[in-house]
Copies of this chain bind each other. A is one copy, B any other.
């Protein structure tokens, strides 16, 4: 099994290496194909996202990715956005669950954020009308709207989830979110066995900080999804522990969504949990559900035991000790 590995910048090489180790320890054999992206790549090849990297993903279909920094001020578009658009990774999926050891004000959070990944204001269409007046286009299409809502319902069905909440601002964007809402209702009709709820995005934000337990699967357009994904990560301990996936009909990229933390890069201090859990999602995607579940279990038990944790998790360990702890908690397969 060959899988592309984009180690990325900063702590990227450390957290992806830890993930490779944990995956190897489950017994799943993967032949990792290195591919460059990020600051590193821009310096070495003059391109933060070389065509070669895209081609490798096209060839092998699946990638694990560490944080990649987009060089600023040189007209490069965000690497993440470019990856999603070039490979039509139309769905971003972020499962968010309360974890042991991480003291947050919220308990029993257990939701999945499904974000449309290709349109909205991320279409990148902007122009200056006259100096001092800019228009950005927020593009919503029936095709993409139906596709993402259907994706959310399929996910709900597959994982036995009970409710899908569609988040919108249709009272203000009557045409665009009106269309999206109409598509959502139509798709929801195909799933009478899953509850459907539609809510303005501002209400959702308020409820997420007062009663996050209410939510199950949430689906929404791109920029709303950007904001809600990070808000939800905050509810359970932040980007250091939450995995992410970007999925299309042909390709899939699994990635920790945290930054490259240049201040601690190379020091062996990085927390690899977000990347390791993204690796578990990757295993699930390629049909190794058992290995995926074992990794998830090991991460949860490692946090519960609270030994060997990295500093950001309140421990005095490092990448090595937490990786060893996770491996030692892997149930035998």
Residues of A in contact with B (beta carbons under 8 Å apart) = 70, 78, 81, 104-106, 121-122, 124, 126-128, 131-143, 169, 171-176, 179, 201-203, 205-210, 223, 226-231, 233-235, 238-239
Contacts and interface: CB of A to CB of B under 8 A. Distances in A.
B234 A206 contact: yes
A86 to B, nearest CB: 16
B209 A172 contact: no
5 contacts: A136-B137, A172-B223, A202-B227, A206-B234, A227-B227
Contacts of A209: 208-209, 231, 234-235
Contact of A229 (B140, B202, B234): B202
Nearest to A125: B135
Given A135-B139, A141-B132, A202 B173 contact: no
Contact of A233 (B122, B137, B206, B208): B206
The 8 closest A-B pairs by CB, nearest first: A105-B105, A132-B142, A209-B234, A126-B175, A206-B234, A205-B231, A202-B230, A206-B230
**What's the number of copies of this chain in the assembled complex?**
2
B106 A169 contact: no
Given A132-B143, A136-B138, A143-B132, A230 B203 contact: yes
A136 B173 contact: yes
A176 B134 contact: yes
A85 B143 CA distance: 33
A139 to B, nearest CB: 6
Nearest to A231: B205
A228 B206 CA distance: 9
A203 to B, nearest CB: 7
B171 A70 contact: yes
A61 to B, nearest CB: 27
A7 to B, nearest CB: 22
B128 A139 contact: no
Contacts of A128: 175
